[in-house]
Amino acid sequence: MAVIIDGKKIAQETRAEIAAQVAEQKNQGFTPGLAVIIVGENPASQVYVRNKHKACGEAGMYSEVIALPEATTEEELLSVIARLNDDTKIDGILVQLPLPKHINETQVLNAIRPDKDVDAFHPVNTGKIMIGNPDFLPCTPAGVMVMLKKSGIDVTGKHCVVVGRSNIVGKPMAMLLLAANGTVTVCHSKTQNLAEVTRSADILVVAIGRADFITGDMIKEGAVVIDVGMNRRADGKLTGDVEFASCAEKASYITPVPGGVGPMTITMLLQNTLTAAALHHKQ
């Protein structure tokens, strides 16, 4: 039976460390500040944004939520970003995704100053991650790396299989595992013989967005299984991309959903905001 990696506990410990560093920055005369922009009324996004705002307050940071109506034009959104780019109270800017269809997401993300891009979605930051010289790490993959580290799991030389190739999780996850000296394979919906590949994983990270997609017969005995999935079942319950019961029997370590990777994501956003403030106030 696998050890269950407690994301909630690791997130709490990490947030306490961040809060101590925020207090230190305040002693030096500045307060890290985050601006979160939400366009429209997607209920899931509203919950995420509220949680981000609350987490900032708990860590002692300044935060602003800018809620714009669904009908906001791309120009209007770009002018809000331009104002925040120049606002010295604001160290980090996050535009909650998805955006309404009439707004070009790429244009918007590229308008955020790279040194305030706490999501690490700007091409400058994705490029820095690629060459192994990052200022910010994308929140979800960074959270996974902290969970591995705090659980005493060494990535060096291990076969790490990432299922999913999104810009938000799969691709940067592969880069971070590679930077930690893992041997990395990225799989996706077109991969042939997927189960054969996942069965060869020492560390399996799943971010494909399909409920209970990875079953016990698709993993190796003793594998570390990290579930980034967040799917809503017909009965309203949250479930991951990994069938927990059958995988927990074979894995050495496994993350649950909820209470696994989820709580780490906002924690890493706080970390990036702290890092941005330190960059902006470097002597």
Which residues are catalytically annotated?
52, 96, 119
Q: Does 117 bind ligand GUN (CB under 6 A)?
A: no
How many C-beta atoms surround the C-beta of residue 242 within 10 A? 32
Four-residue CA torsion sign, 83, 46, 274, 181: negative
Of residues 168 through 207, those in contact with ligand GUN by CB under 6 A are 168
Strand (E) or helix (H) holding 105: helix 105-111
Candidates 6, 119, 202, 241: give the one binding ligand GUN (CB under 6 A).
Answer: 119
Of residues 213 through 252, those in contact with ligand GUN by CB under 6 A are none
Strand (E) or helix (H) holding 16: helix 7-27
Q: Does 34 bind ligand GUN (CB under 6 A)?
A: no
Q: What is the CA radius of gyration of the chain?
A: 19
Task: Give the shortest CB-210-to-ligand GUN separation in angstroms.
Answer: 17
Q: Does 94 bind ligand GUN (CB under 6 A)?
A: yes
Q: Which is nearer to ligand GUN, 242 or 266 (CB)?
A: 266
Task: Give the shortest CB-219-to-ligand GUN separation in angstroms.
Answer: 26
CB 32 within 8 A of CB 90: no
Q: Does 273 bind ligand GUN (CB under 6 A)?
A: no
Q: Does 137 bind ligand GUN (CB under 6 A)?
A: no
Distance CA 127, CA 16 (A): 30
Q: Does 144 bind ligand GUN (CB under 6 A)?
A: no
Distance CA 183, CA 111 (A): 34
- Cα–chain-centroid distance for residue 156? 22
Q: Which stretch binds ligand GUN (CB under 6 A): 21-29, 95-103, 217-225, 273-281?
A: 95-103
Query: Which residue number places its CB atom closest to ligand GUN?
Result: 97
Candidates 4, 67, 97, 179: give the one binding ligand GUN (CB under 6 A).
Answer: 97
Q: Which stretch binds ligand GUN (CB under 6 A): 88-96, 154-162, 177-185, 231-239?
A: 88-96
* Both tokens assigned to 66: 């800018």
Could you tell me the CA-to-CA distances from 152 to 63, 145, 146, 219, 224 in Å, in that order?
33, 11, 10, 20, 11
Q: Does 96 bind ligand GUN (CB under 6 A)?
A: yes
Residues that bind ligand GUN (CB under 6 A): 94-97, 119, 139, 168
